[in-house]
Chain A
Amino acid sequence: NAGVTQTPKFRVLKTGQSMTLLCAQDMNHEYMYWYRQDPGMGLRLIHYSVGEGTTAKGEVPDGYNVSRLKKQNFLLGLESAAPSQTSVYFCASTRHQTGGRTEAFFGQGTRLTVV
Chain B
Amino acid sequence: KQEVTQIPAALSVPEGENLVLNCSFTDSAIYNLQWFRQDPGKGLTSLLLIQSSQREQTSGRLNASLDKSSGRSTLYIAASQPGDSATYLCAVRPGSGGSNYKLTFGKGTLLTVNP
Could you list which residues of chain A lie within 8 angstroms of chain B, going by C-beta atoms?
4, 31, 33, 40-43, 45, 48, 50, 58, 90, 92, 94, 96, 99-109, 111
Contact = CB atoms under 8 A, between A and B. Distances in A.
Interface string B81-93: 0000000010101
A108 B101 contact: no
B22 to A, nearest CB: 16
Chain A contact residues: helix, strand, loop or mixed: strand
Contacts of B112: none
A99 B107 contact: no
Given A90-B43, A103-B34, A42 B107 contact: yes
Contact of B105 (A40, A42, A58, A99): A42
A105 B42 contact: no
A43 B105 contact: yes
A60 to B, nearest CB: 13
A103 B52 contact: no
Nearest to B1: A59
A107 B43 contact: yes
Interface of B: 31-32, 34, 36, 41-46, 49, 51-54, 89, 91, 93, 100-103, 105-108
6 contacts: A31-B101, A43-B105, A45-B103, A48-B102, A101-B51, A109-B42
B10 to A, nearest CB: 13
Contacts of A90: 43-44
Interchain residue pairs A-B with the least CB separation, the first 8: A100-B51, A106-B44, A108-B43, A42-B107, A43-B105, A100-B32, A106-B43, A31-B101
B101 A48 contact: yes
A42 B49 contact: no
Nearest to B103: A104
A23 to B, nearest CB: 12
With most chain A CB atoms within 10 A of its CB, the pick from B91, B93, B100, B102 is B102
A99 B51 CA distance: 7
